[in-house]
Chain A
Amino acid sequence: MSYDLIATLMFATMMLMLLTGQRVFGAIGFVAVIAALFLWGDRGGYDLGFSAAMKLMKWYPLLTLPMFIFMGYVLSESKIADDLYKMFHVWMGGLRGGLAIGTIGLMVLISAMNGLSVAGMAIGSTIALPELLKRGYDKRMVTGVIQAGSSLGILVPPSVVLVLYAMIARQPVGQLWLAGVVPGLMMAAMFIAYIVIRCWINPVLGPVLPAEERNIPRAEKLRLLRAGILPLVIFATMMVPFVNGWTSLVESSAIGALAAFLAAVLKGRMTKEVFENSVRNTLGITCMFMWIILAALAFGAVFDGLGAVKAIEGLFTDRLNLSPWMILILMQLSFILMGTFLDDTAMLVIVAPLYVPLVGELGFDLIWYGILYTITTQIAYMTPPFGYNLFLMRAMAPPEITLRDIYASITPFVAVMVLALVLVMMFPGIATWLPEYVYNKP
């Protein structure tokens, strides 16, 4: 059997296994070890699964993962974000669709305090969602807002996805993070523009808040703005020492987690229950990610052993004989396609190592590509049949929101994301300007 065929078969089997609804790490891991046994038998086929565990242990940036997850849960469980939400509520409520706009603002701030999307999802669906539904907002619109907004968590720094990408592409994390700022804000602005336009045309989608809810004394209104300070402080305690080189990346993530924890304690929000929930959920989610990465590393090693990198290169450059831009576009498309099925961490570990070297060889800037890559990942995270948001939304959303609603809700936002992707592709400066400016990169 040719190697290409085996590789294709592996992918197909994995997809099939995933469809059965077995736990993702089981599906990926099983295919990996079976393939290894089949290919290498007793000459090492048995060891491959475990040696991935040793590889994982040495992959130091993964240490940031539990830290960011913990941070996210502390922020969401302790309801520190409630004040933030109230701030947006009062300030934006007077506009058509104002609460939805405010929710996007909230998501941007949460994203700046966290490296993943999970926190945003949790906060959005527990705090914002019920409020918005109560105020008569269109349920599809708000479900979409929360899913799209929370996905900004991996584009706006800090970002775990960009850290892992940095390791694979061997690009500086600091610059990658900075590169995510403008596209992140741009995307948020585009979401807002979408909301404004929709609600302008059809005001029932996002009714204006009743006057009595908005007529709050001016002083009180200003006081609410103070809620915005906290995210800035947490963002700064994490980013300033890191960007200045005083602390390393993993240390910064621990400092961020500690800062969030202390903030909750100081605000008197760290009740026993909050503590319990944050600690327990952190374990659950960390384990989920780690076991998936463990399996995906084994899968990737077999893939690598099959020479998949060369096969892909050969396919794009020799066999199809395409121009660099065509290849890039095809890669993004296939990423999105695979992303609908695959979990984004698994995709990062399995697919990125195949593509990134090729992108470099074609002469594209890998910092810029990191942003393209992340936006694609965001899309993957959103699109059915597989995505964490779908999984989480199901678990957290009130019963009146059906699976069909969840699926339908994302369509316009995915369209906006694709538009953002195209914009960053056409105008690389959107991503590269800030890091160049800050690091004065030639």
Chain B
Amino acid sequence: MRKYAYGFIRGVDAVNHRIGRIVMYGIFVLMGILIWSSVSKTFFMPSLWTLEMAQFAMVTYYILGGPYSIQLGSNVRMDLLYGEWSLRKKAWVDLITVLFLIFYLGVLLYGAVGSTAYSLGYYGSEPFSFFGGLITGAESVGRMETSPTAWRPWLWPIKSVMILGIFLMLMQCISELLKDVLRLKGETI
């Protein structure tokens, strides 16, 4: 059991660490798009795609970067009480409240899956079985949702990124949960 927990923690943390390390350079992508937007507007024709592209870049940046930000401990907490507690007490409380966080992420993920299925032309109410069906070939991709703009990009790519990011966030929180459990068993992590 303990071995699996450690394996899980190590695996998840490593993946999220790596993704976060890559995504953090996305700040330059975002900056580049916005600068290009002003340059092209001033000197040539403004581009159709810059604003939306910047929005996609931004979403990718903060969603995929989320788990790494948890590792970095950047997510503020109200530490009025929390700050004073012993490590053990913190672990106990976290152990419980992280479940709420996990629940929130679960709902978020559910919504993301539904919305992505929609973006692939599935209008039913069982998005998970739709994706299952896609793999087995029982379902096929329908009308692909495009953004209601003149540029009309497909939306499934960004929505898939969001699924991935939320999923990884969920994994990271489970990893945090396991760490708390191990801490309470007296291990130092």
B23 CB → nearest A CB, Å: 7
Q: A24-B77, A394-B79 are in contact. Are A50 and B62 (CB under 8 A)?
A: no
Task: Assess the A26–B100 pair: CB atoms within 8 A.
Answer: yes
Residues of A within 8 A of B85 (CB): 21
Interface size class of B (residues with CB under 8 A): 35 or more
Is A58 on the interface with B (CB-CB < 8 A)?
yes
Q: Are B72 and A27 within 8 A (Cβ)?
A: no
Report yes or no: A24 in contact with B37, Cβ–Cβ below 8 A.
Answer: no
- Once A48-B111, A53-B59, A284-B69 are accepted as A-B contacts, the answer to whether A20 and B20 lie under 8 Å apart by CB is no
> Closest chain B residue to A48 by CB distance?
B111
The CA of A390 and the CA of B37, in the complex, are separated in Å by 38
Residues of A with C-beta under 8 A to B77: 21-24, 391
Interface size class of A (residues with CB under 8 A): 35 or more
**Stretch of B3-11, B102-110, B136-144, B181-189 on the interface side:** B102-110
Interface centre among A21, A57, A287, A295 (most CB of B within 10 A): A287
Q: When each residue 34-49 of chain B gets 1 if its CB lies under 8 Å from chain A and 0 otherwise, what string results?
A: 1101100110000000
Query: What residues make up the interface of B, taking CB atoms closer than 8 Å to A?
Result: 20, 23-25, 27, 30-31, 34-35, 37-38, 41-42, 51, 54-56, 58-59, 61-63, 65-66, 68-70, 72, 74-85, 90, 93-94, 96-98, 100-101, 103-105, 107-108, 110-112, 114-115, 158, 162
CA distance A58 to B56 in the complex (A): 9
B contact face: mostly helix, strand, loop, or mixed: helix
Alpha-carbon separation in the docked complex, A318 to B78 (Å): 36
B38 A247 Cβ-Cβ under 8 A? yes
Pairwise interchain contact B80-A27, C-beta atoms closer than 8 A: no
Q: Is the interface of A mostly helix, strand, loop or mixed?
A: helix
- Shortest Cβ distance from A56 into B: residue: B59
Which A residues fall within an 8 A CB radius of B?
A: 17-27, 29-30, 32-34, 37, 46-51, 53-54, 56-58, 60, 62-63, 66-67, 70, 241, 246-248, 250-251, 253-255, 257-258, 279-288, 290-292, 295, 341, 343, 384-386, 388, 390-391, 394, 403
**CB-CB nearest in chain A for B68:** A283
